[in-house]
Amino acid sequence: MPSADHAPASHLAVEVATQPDDWARSAAIAAEHRALLPQPGERVAVIGCGTSLFMSRAIAALREEAGQGLTDAWPASQVRGGRDYDRYLVICRSGTTTEVVSAMREIPSHVPRTVICSSPGTPVLELGDPILIDEVDEKSVVQTRFATTTLAILRWHLGEDLGPAVEQARAVLAEDPAESLAGVRGAEQITFVGMGFAGALAEEAGLKLRESCQSWAESYLATEYRHGPISIAAPGRAVWALGPLIPDFAADVAATGAHLEHRDIDPMAELVRVHRLCVARAADLGLDPDHPRSLNRSVVLDQ
């Protein structure tokens, strides 16, 4: 029987490994679709569900930090109307999610809307100006490369150079997970924290652990961690920080006896480390990370 580190590759493992190349190629996608992406000064609403919502929050944080204009991120089921947006940006891997389709049909007809999707021939592509990235579509129910490539497209569009993040992610994938993930692989509980767009990626990291291997994982803004969540920290548990540490954070975690996992690399590259943990822990537990319990690729509701 193969060991957890040498088990046959899941779809999730294969898709996680393409991310650095996907991000590098996304520069050309951003340039090709420049006119469909949010323009400087536009008031923008970014819409998604689940992982796509967390990418929406990351994009909103980055765009506002870059001074590009007001940017809200909404779950598709609760888009606020009457805010005079200049553009809607919709993120939907499957192209069939009921809440997303319904939200797009309710957008005022005169407002431009762009949809990023990886599934050809699906309803959302007919309801907006499409950016189809089917080369990063996924067989695993658990989203990885579609989400991070969508974020990479927007980061390139905002003028960022993702070259360093690409190289950092390649370095992460070259590591032996038995060594690089030793501090978190057997943790009873993991809390992810971050600030700004890394806070949204912390939410995504927690979701990945819950989906792929049924792990007890939580996520918070790093500044909110000391306002209650720190009480869960203890020996045998871990706190994983994405992005720069806030002052005194390491000392506060150390005082609890919990393990602090942190690297000074791009939060998107650090998310790849989380993805590798998902693959490793699923193998350790004998779980199929491609078909999580109670989940499907798309949430399609009876209406």
- DSSP string covering 43-64, please? -EEEEESTHHHHHHHHHHHHHH
Q: How many CA atoms are closer than 13 Å to the CA of 148, on its beta-carbon side?
A: 35
Q: Return the pLDDT at 2.
A: 41
pTM of structure = 0.94
Chain length of the chain: 303
> What's 293's DSSP letter?
T
Six token digits for residue 271 = 């998310």
3-class DSSP state of 290: coil
Q: Return the pLDDT at 292.
A: 82
> What's 28's DSSP letter?
H
pLDDT tens for the chain, 303 residues long, are 344 455 568 999 999 999 999 999 999 999 999 999 999 999 999 999 999 999 999 999 999 999 999 999 999 999 988 889 999 999 999 999 999 999 999 999 999 999 999 999 999 999 999 999 999 999 999 999 999 999 999 999 999 999 999 999 999 999 999 999 999 999 999 999 999 999 999 999 999 999 999 999 999 999 999 999 999 999 999 999 999 999 999 999 999 999 999 999 999 999 999 999 999 999 999 999 999 887 776 666 676
| Residue closest to 290 by CA, chosen among 16, 64, 94 | 16
Six token digits for residue 211 = 């989906």
CB 22 within 8 A of CB 152: yes
Query: Cα separation of 203 and 121, whole Å?
Result: 30
Strand partners for 191: 218, 239
Q: How many CA atoms are closer than 13 Å to the CA of 298, on its beta-carbon side?
A: 22
CB 140 within 8 A of CB 290: yes
